[in-house]
Structure 1
Amino acid sequence: CLGHKKVYGLNCYECTPSDGDLCADNNANKTAVEVMDCNQSIFTQGNTRNEDFICISMKEQNHTHTRYARRCGLKSEENICNAKELDQGYNLTKCRTCRTDLCNASENIHTNLFLTVYVIVNLLLSSIKIN
């Protein structure tokens, strides 16, 4: 197929509601969240149509519980965020699909990465000014 770019080796954060609060946006232990090559993910096995991969992050709530999931997916799942309810009794309150490495991080992971880069750049700039 001319002009078709196949995405190989997309990496996504992967955790499920069975991992407890590991996937939560306020989880302080970000290194415990598994990084998965989507070629190896259980969620993309049986990719017989050789679809491109995406990353998915979801938050579902019911009257008493909030649960999170982050995982690899197939391009055909891009409309998953249009669902109001994935599992009976749980409302989908936050959902996002994306196509770049680790783009399904929690907001805290993105914030921590930005802060880390900001500090490193400022340290480098201050060391240049001193010399």
Structure 2
Amino acid sequence: MALRSCLLLLVTVGLLAAAAAASYGDHEEKRLRCYHCTSDHYNPNCDDPFNSTGIEVVDCLEQTRRRSDPREVPVCKKIKQRINNGDLQTVRSCAVMLPDQSCTTTDQSSYIHEEYCITCDTDLCNAASPLAAAAAAIFTPLLAALLA
């Protein structure tokens, strides 16, 4: 009986130590890597369908270290923008946003019109196509509800 109690105590302490170590990491800012590119005649791999060959990967936390609002968090961003000459470009980058803020399309100038904008917060997530991102946004909560 004493051996069983010791084993139970050992397992409990081990689980508590593992939980404490896991939660310790939550207090540190998490690293976020994002693709960084603009599709054009010189870099067609950045466009959809996306091909990561030769595409720069950046540490978004480093890229966005100087934030004006301490509540802002780094995110990966993907924009589709129409240039005045009619070309459609894809831009993949890092950005900072407030947690409850959504990505909105804005005209950066009279020369560039944003048609599509999406943000995400997992490593290299700005590789996703709009359809894949929409499917993930719809099915993730459904799957979580089914598993709960």
In structure 2, distance between residues paired with 1:36 and 1:5: 22
Give the Å deviation of 1:48.
Answer: 5.2
- Letter aligned with residue 25 of structure 1: D
Cα gap change, 1:22/1:76 in structure 2, threshold over 3 Å: closer, same or farther? farther
Cα gap change, 1:32/1:84 in structure 2, threshold over 3 Å: closer, same or farther? same
Aligned residue among 71, 74, 79 for 1:53: 74
Higher relative contact order (CA 8 A, sep 6+): 1
Q: Is the 8 A contact 1:6 1:52 kept in 2?
A: no
Larger Rg: 2
Give the Å deviation of 1:45.
Answer: 4.5
What is the Cα-based RMSD across aligned positions, in Å? Answer: 2.9
Aligned to 2:123: 101
The alignment partner of 1:67 has SS state of strand
5+ residue gaps, structure 1, are 111-131
In structure 1, distance between residues paired with 2:88 and 2:27: 37
Cα gap change, 1:88/1:46 in structure 2, threshold over 3 Å: closer, same or farther? same
TM-score, length-normalised on structure 1? 0.60
Give the Å deviation of 1:82.
Answer: 2.0
Task: Report the number of matched residues.
Answer: 101
Residue identity (%) = 29
Aligned residue among 26, 33, 49 for 2:49: 26
5+ residue gaps, structure 2, are 1-25, 133-148
Aligned residue among 13, 36, 43 for 2:35: 13
In structure 2, distance between residues paired with 1:54 and 1:61: 22
Give the Å deviation of 1:106.
Answer: 4.2
Aligned to 1:36: 58
